[in-house]
Chain A
Amino acid sequence: MNARDEILGRVRGALAAAPDAEVEVPRRYARTADGVDVVRLFAERVGDYRATVRIVAPEALAPVVAAELRDAAVGTLAVPPDLPHEWLIETGVEVRADSPVLSVNELDGCDGVLTGCAVAIAETGTIVLDGGPTQGRRALTLVPDVHICVVPASVVVGTVPEAITRLDGTRPLTWVSGPSATSDIELNRIEGVHGPRRLVVIVVDRQTG
């Protein structure tokens, strides 16, 4: 018998005496964060991970991006091919679009990367990238040491269940909560290992003036 049939046979044998009824899943946990300003909460929680957070009005986005690039000393910036031009104005940095596809070494030669995201979760301070518009492929936001992520207020949800509902689980997803970190030395969190050591999150909110 092949391994597949043998394992499936063992599983069925092990469960032969188990009650036939489906196990119902009680879902009484919170699905939404009611009565919360999700944009403010998101900014606060991202800040807890020692990431840089800015909340800006749409017209202030480009100058803030330029200022953050200067502050992080980014000279060469990787961007996904479909990044909106208006996010980058008078930055003075060398911009490399990922089209044609940048090699791993070319990516490694970039100081930073600028992207959008698909969903952001207030309660956990998480951004989620799904490879859709303004995000590019997964390696793009991994190899450069500085990741600047633009988060439209419209993609910020309150909770993990709301994010799961919005996301397409068949796409390649990357959930990012703060800069790369480790708890491996005495179980204390230290920022900065293999992923980007600096994360800058810029929330674009029309309510901000």
Chain B
Amino acid sequence: MSGATWLGMPAFPEAARTALADEQLQANLRTATTTIRAKREAVVAERADWEHLRAAGAAIKDRTLRHLDRYLLRFEEQATAAGAVVHWARDAAEANRIVVDLVRAADADEVIKVKSMVTQEIDLNAALAAAGITAYETDLAELIVQLGDDLPSHILVPAIHRNRSQIRDIFRREMPDAPDDLTDDPAALAAAARRHLRRKFLTARVAVSGANFAVAESGALVVVESEGNGRMCLTLPEVLISVVGIEKLVPTWADLEVMLQLLPRSSTGERMNPYTSTWRGVHPGDGPREVHVVLLDNGRTDVLADDVGRQALRCIRCSACLNVCPVYERTGGHAYGSPYPGPIGAILTPQLRGMRDDPVAASLPYASTLCGACYEACPVRIDIPAALVHLRARAVDATRGPLSPERTVMRAAAWTLAGPRRLAAAQRLAALAGALLGRRGRIGRLPGPLAAWTRTRDTPVPPGQSFRTWWRRNRRGTAE
């Protein structure tokens, strides 16, 4: 089980070419992202205070990150007082070793799992398999991916690249107890998954989860889900092991009043997801008797050290940025070469893994048109385009030495895009330069160090006036 791996994936441009040639993939992605965009827009539109919620969500995460050491210690103290055992893991190998040891100590050879991005990131299932422990994914989409020996391609819906008839085929082929006459009716597919996992839920002794939020002041963890597989894993087994990235903290219980509004509306486009569970250590007579929390770094402190890139740690894994991204909609998630696809993956993966010896990671900051739709959709206001431009400069640093003109241009672009007044000035300059350099609407070859850029592409001449200038001249005073 779980033979599929991200190792050896090609860099984004090559992987994207393969995806673009797959018409079925294109159709599946178009259907799914169109559906979810409409749902999200409807539930966001009914909140007049949405922008206030976004601002609060961003500030809560920034507040946490600014004193992350303090909140981690507070969480540890509170969770421990409530009967949890808190472990710390510097990297994936250490986290996997801790989980394997805990499962062995419980004398179990199988675990049931709640969908968790972080256990994808550390490739926990492979580590468990190597130790002779079988991991059963219980989220429907994770189950589809696992049975199909496939890789996840979306944060929320890892099997988004499969349509209903492909899912039926996987179930018929790989699920021993699937009915012979299984149709591709989604309700029938969900019922087959229910039957398939029911015994596992009722008999498993160890469960592994992630967490959507960890509350520093109380030591509580929060898991947000839909199917009830999360509740099964969090409630029925004797031992619960939760792997939690250190950025998942929020300072206070009250902060959840913001996060639990932002996440479901951004994620599944619902006013609220079907089930949210919160627990704090061991609750005698209710749920697991042994509760472990593994706090994971695995590159997060490197992200934290970058004053532009660190905003990626605000991410609450809603996947709204994937669903609105024109690049993701066409390439799908596999092209991003990591469990974190789409715009957020393009800024998170290069920072978590580093770009120096990782051509996939170094290619990701370019996997974007910088259209800005992701920033608009992000519930915690991560300025993904600005981070992408910043990381392009770092990618060039990491791979090409210090004096590249591209690095200089990207740095300048990052500085320019960071302020509206600078941008306006730059647009005025560009309009002038365009008038000097352009012929028939195109700028052809440029001289000197910029020749490498223009050798393979024409650049459209900037318009005579920017939209901002046009707006000021034509509309100011009527619409503001």
Residues of B close to A164: CB separation below 8 A: 253-254, 256-257, 260
CB of A181 within 8 A of CB of B283, answer: no
Please tell me if A206 contacts chain B, counting CB pairs below 8 Å. Answer: no
CB of B278 within 8 A of CB of A169, answer: yes
Please tell me if A84 contacts chain B, counting CB pairs below 8 Å. Answer: no
CB of B301 within 8 A of CB of A11, answer: yes
Contact status of A142 and B90, CB under 8 A, knowing A22-B66, A192-B191: no
Contact status of A185 and B167, CB under 8 A, knowing A24-B59, A27-B56, A190-B190: yes
Please tell me if A71 contacts chain B, counting CB pairs below 8 Å. Answer: no
A35 CB to nearest B CB, Å = 13
Interface size on A, residues (CB 8 A): 74
Residues of B close to A165: CB separation below 8 A: 254, 257
Contact partner of A195 among B39, B49, B90, B228, CB < 8 A?
B228
Bound: A170/B186 CA distance, A: 37
Q: Name the CB-closest residue of A to B37.
A: A187
CB of A3 within 8 A of CB of B157, answer: no
Q: Name the CB-closest residue of A to B73.
A: A8
Q: Name the CB-closest residue of A to B255.
A: A25
Contact status of A160 and B227, CB under 8 A, knowing A172-B286, A185-B190: no
Bound: A138/B138 CA distance, A: 19
Bound: A29/B261 CA distance, A: 11
Please tell me if B270 contacts chain A, counting CB pairs below 8 Å. Answer: yes
Bound: A163/B72 CA distance, A: 26
Contact status of A3 and B94, CB under 8 A, knowing A24-B59, A193-B228: yes
Bound: A186/B231 CA distance, A: 23
Contact partner of B271 among A8, A17, A105, A124, CB < 8 A?
A124
Please tell me if B202 contacts chain A, counting CB pairs below 8 Å. Answer: yes
Q: Report the stretch among B1-9, B28-36, B336-344 that lies at the interface.
A: B28-36
Bound: A23/B396 CA distance, A: 32
| Chain A stretch 135-178: residues in CB contact (< 8 A) with chain B | 137-139, 142-143, 160-161, 163-165, 169-178
| Chain A stretch 1-38: residues in CB contact (< 8 A) with chain B | 2-4, 6-8, 10-15, 17-18, 22-30
| Chain A stretch 55-72: residues in CB contact (< 8 A) with chain B | none
Contact status of A7 and B295, CB under 8 A, knowing A13-B305, A184-B144, A193-B194: yes
Contact partner of A29 among B49, B73, B159, B304, CB < 8 A?
B49
Please tell me if A40 contacts chain B, counting CB pairs below 8 Å. Answer: no
Contact status of A186 and B186, CB under 8 A, knowing A23-B63, A25-B59, A173-B277: yes
Residues of A close to B276: CB separation below 8 A: 173-175
Please tell me if B134 contacts chain A, counting CB pairs below 8 Å. Answer: no
Residues of A close to B272: CB separation below 8 A: 121, 124-126, 175, 177
| Chain B stretch 224-253: residues in CB contact (< 8 A) with chain A | 226-229, 231-232, 234-236, 246, 253
Q: Which of A10, A101, A104, A165 has the most CB of B within 10 A?
A: A10
A74 CB to nearest B CB, Å = 18
Q: Name the CB-closest residue of A to B157.
A: A184
CB of A185 within 8 A of CB of B164, answer: yes
Please tell me if A207 contacts chain B, counting CB pairs below 8 Å. Answer: no
A38 CB to nearest B CB, Å = 14
Please tell me if B366 contacts chain A, counting CB pairs below 8 Å. Answer: no
Query: Can you list, as one digit per residue, whether each of B30-66 has a CB less than 8 Å from chain A (1) or not (0)?
Result: 0111011001000000001100110110011011011
Please tell me if A111 contacts chain B, counting CB pairs below 8 Å. Answer: no
Bound: A189/B268 CA distance, A: 9
Contact status of A26 and B55, CB under 8 A, knowing A4-B88, A138-B231, A186-B35: yes
CB of A29 within 8 A of CB of B258, answer: yes
Contact partner of B90 among A7, A29, A161, CB < 8 A?
A7
Q: Which of A45, A49, A173 has the most CB of B within 10 A?
A: A173
Contact status of A7 and B297, CB under 8 A, knowing A29-B56, A142-B228: yes
CB of B190 within 8 A of CB of A193, answer: yes
Contact partner of B274 among A24, A121, A138, A179, CB < 8 A?
A179
CB of B274 within 8 A of CB of A195, answer: yes
Query: Can you list, as one digit per residue, whether each of B277-321 has a CB less than 8 Å from chain A (1) or not (0)?
Result: 111100101110000000101000110110100100000000000
Please tell me if B328 contacts chain A, counting CB pairs below 8 Å. Answer: no
The 4 A-B residue pairs whose C-beta atoms are closest, nearest first, are: A195-B228, A169-B253, A14-B305, A10-B301
A-B contact pairs, 29 of them (CB 8 A): A14-B302, A15-B304, A22-B67, A25-B255, A30-B49, A124-B271, A131-B286, A137-B285, A138-B277, A139-B286, A142-B232, A161-B257, A164-B257, A169-B253, A176-B275, A177-B272, A177-B274, A179-B274, A180-B226, A180-B227, A181-B227, A184-B157, A185-B140, A187-B33, A192-B194, A193-B194, A193-B228, A195-B228, A195-B274
User: B residues touching A (Cβ–Cβ < 8 Å)?
Assistant: 28, 31-33, 35-36, 39, 48-49, 52-53, 55-56, 59-60, 62-63, 65-69, 72-73, 82, 87-90, 94, 138-141, 144, 156-157, 159-160, 163-164, 167, 186-187, 189-191, 193-194, 197-198, 201-202, 215, 218, 220, 226-229, 231-232, 234-236, 246, 253-258, 260-261, 268, 270-280, 283, 285-287, 295, 297, 301-302, 304-305, 307, 310
